[in-house]
Every structure is written in structure tokens, then in C-alpha cells.
Amino acid sequence: MHLNKYLFIFLTSTVIITGCKVSRLQTKSTGTTHPADTRPQADLIKPQDTLFITSRGDTLTSLDEEIAIGIHRLMKDTLSIIGVGDIMLGTNFPKPDYLPPDSGRFLLSGARPFLVDADVTFGNLEGVILNDGGTPKNCKNPDLCYLFRSPEYLAVHLKQAGFDVLSTANNHAGDFGDIGRQNTMRVLDSLEIYHAGLQAKPYETFIIDGMKYGFAAFAPNSGTMSIHDHEAAIEIVSHLDSISDVVIVSFHGGAEGKKYQHVTRKTETFYGENRGNVYQFSHDLVDAGADVIFGHGPHVLRAVEVYNNRFIAYSLGNFCTYARFNLKGPNSLAPIVKVFTKADGQFLHARIFPFIQLSPGGPQIDKNKKAISKLRELMTADFPENRIVLDDQGFIRYVTQ
């Protein structure tokens, strides 16, 4: 029963309920549909019952009935959304030597106080969560090919560290075939960590503290939602924008390594693979309704910009990548970016927390603040027209006139 007006007449008082962007307050599940009671209406209502009469003349015996109504929620003035780069907590393939000691308990301990201090915390999950088995993918060039299979016990650390949502759209999501993909989704679901990016799970919606978020992720790799199909990506983001308060997007794109730290605003290729035009892609999705975009894939830090009052980070580098990763020079930078927005996703300000990884891996605070100085350099070079500035403490704010 859909109501055009939300006037309920009580026997003793009148309450007006007004509409808002999200029509039902719910968690990830959609609720249970209860079978209709077949008893005569007169038998259902006792003389002492309170009746709820809608403006259309419908009589409800309870406000617990599942109807589509709009209510005026108490919206937060400011939201905080954290984004980090690539996460791979260790792999038992090709041998268990690449697993961290002490079951990896130390890996995220230094970052946890920062990660839990946000409304939503996001990261990019490189590889699959699988104890053993799976079908290893074939590599055209074994010297350039790495496969990541993280045992399930390591995934618990992601939940404990405060991650709410992860991208599964990247070049390692299919390292161990469909078995790896399915088990990764199963484990994340069991931990109540939201995720999206595989063709089997193109997007996600979830509610945290009364705010509804939409999330989608894209990559240039098989089995993932394509970064090349702008039309399909726009359709997904537009849909999420129509049902969510804030839309968060992740992409895996751009060439890799220290030679590719700049946003070219052109299509990028790497070892013959089309890695997308991340600049055009991001702008298209902001125009479609994305509010915060976190990029990853190059394994190095790239610039950030604010476009149409929406925040875009083009690459957040390697955040927590144990063994098997190059962590030298710019590849060692592992920033945490905390974005503050209005309730509708408009950018207010952000802060960069400068972490760094030293071999074999695991983020730790960088007293030299290399991520801040590098990011300022990249922002100046790639987006001189940006109306934002980054100060020495890591705060990103609009330029004051």
C-alpha cells in the first residue's frame, strides 16, 4: 500500500510524517513478508484498539504493517568515509612462506585506531580468500604474474580492523577461478563485510547509523564489472543514487608502478592491457551520481581532486600487502584518506594520514609524512585548476577566496 500523503489520525492525536530520499529504514535484508490474515476485519479489532487511518481511507491495526512510507529521518550533518588502497594479508600460494607470522595479528594493529574512526571504512581486497584448492589462472608471462590466495583466518583481521566494505573488482579476484570468487564472497558475508565488483555481485547497498550507502566497483578484468563499459557503470551508479543517500565507487585502473604516478586524462595501457581512462570514467560517474570515488591499481599514490563538489582519489597505492609486493620508494606509501561530506555526499574537507609500508609489509605511521608531500606534488602537477589545497598536517580544504 503506497501513500501519497502521510497523515495518520490517532484517536487521541495527529502525527504528520514527511517524505525523504530513502523510504524505508532497514538493514541489508529486505525484511520478511507476512501472510495476510484471513479473519473478518471486525474480528481483528477490539474495542480498545487504536486505529490508524490514512488519508486515503485505509485502516491499519498496527504501524508494523509492511507498507512503503516516507518518514523524516534525523540526518547527520557530516559523514566521514575512509578509503585505503590494496590489501593482501598474505598468501599460501605458491608456498606458505608468504604468510605472516603470528597469524598476521600485527598487520593492521597500528592502523586500527584510524580505520575504526569513521562512518564507513573501505579498502581494495587483492586476491581471494581461500584455504586451499581452486583453479590457478594461467599466466602469459610467469615472471610478471602473481597469484594471491589468503587463508580464511586472515580475513578476520579485516573485520577487527574496522573495514565495512571492500572492492572485489581487480586483476587478482579471479586468481583461483569461480571457487575462489565464491568462497571470497561467502567469507565476507559471514563476517558482515559488504562487498561488490564481481559480475556475481555488481553493487551493494547498506545502512549504517541510519544513513543508506550505495557501493559499486569496477575493473578491466574478466569476471568483474567492466571499467570500459561506461554506459553500464553509469546505469548502476544512477540506480544507486536514486535509492541511497551517498554513493561510493571504487575502480581498479591505470598503469602500474613509479613511472605511472600521474593522471594522464587519457586511456592507459600496461603490458598490452587496456587499463581504462580513469579520469573520464570518474567524471562520468560523478555526473551520474557518485559522491566519493576511491581508485587503486597502479600500486603508487596518485593525485586527488574535487569535481562538481565530489571527491576523487585516483590511486591510494598499497595499504597492507604482505610479501610478494614491491614496497620500495613510491610503492611504500600507504595513506589513509578520511573524507568528510554532507549528508548528500557533497565534499566538505578531507585528511590524509601518512602511513608507510616497510618490507615485508604492514602499514605504520610515517613521521616524515612522505605521502602528504608526494600527494601535494601530484595535485599541483596534475590538477592545477583544483580549488583545494593540502597542508602540512594532511588537511585537504577548499581554497579560501
pLDDT tens for the chain, 401 residues long, are 333 333 333 333 333 333 333 432 334 433 333 333 333 333 333 334 454 454 445 444 455 544 444 566 778 999 999 999 999 999 999 999 999 999 999 999 999 999 999 999 999 999 999 999 999 998 776 556 799 999 999 999 999 999 999 999 999 999 999 999 999 999 999 999 999 999 999 999 999 999 999 999 999 999 999 999 999 999 999 999 999 999 999 999 999 999 999 999 999 999 999 999 999 999 999 999 999 999 999 999 999 999 999 999 999 999 999 999 999 999 999 999 999 999 999 999 999 999 999 999 999 999 999 999 999 999 999 999 999 999 999 999 999 84
Q: Which of 28, 54, 73 marks a domain boundary?
A: 73
In this structure, the answer to whether residues 27 and 90 fall within a common structural domain is no
Q: What is the pLDDT of residue 41?
A: 36
E strand intervals along 97-197: 120-125, 128-129, 149-150, 165-167, 194-196
Q: Is it true that the peptide bond before 94 is cis, omega within 30 degrees of 0?
A: yes
Domain range for residue 37?
Answer: 1-73
pTM of this prediction? Answer: 0.83
Q: Retrieve residue 363's grid coordinates.
A: 602499514
In this structure, the answer to whether residues 164 and 29 fall within a common structural domain is no
In this structure, the answer to whether residues 20 and 150 fall within a common structural domain is no
Could you give phi then psi for residue 242, rounded to 5 degrees? -75, -15
Distance CA 337, CA 239 (A): 26
Q: What is the pLDDT of residue 6?
A: 35
Q: Retrieve residue 141's grid coordinates.
A: 608471462
In this structure, the answer to whether residues 64 and 90 fall within a common structural domain is no
66: amino acid identity, one letter: E
Distance CA 196, CA 188 (A): 10
Q: Which of 39, 73, 107 marks a domain boundary?
A: 73
Q: Which residues of 140-152 are buried (b: 16+ CB within 10 A; e: fewer)?
A: eeeeeebbbbbbe
DSSP 110: T
In this structure, the answer to whether residues 45 and 98 fall within a common structural domain is no
In this structure, the answer to whether residues 231 and 199 fall within a common structural domain is yes
Length in residues, the chain: 401
Q: What is the pLDDT of residue 139?
A: 77
In this structure, the answer to whether residues 393 and 369 fall within a common structural domain is yes
Q: What is the pLDDT of residue 71?
A: 60
DSSP 204: E
Between CA 168 and CA 330, with CA 300 as vertex, the angle to 5 degrees is: 145
Query: What does each C-alpha distance from 191 to 41, 168, 186, 200, 321 come to in angstroms?
Result: 44, 15, 9, 18, 20
HSE (side-chain half, CA atoms, 13 Å) at 134: 29
Q: Retrieve residue 384's grid coordinates.
A: 592545477
| Domain count along the chain | 2
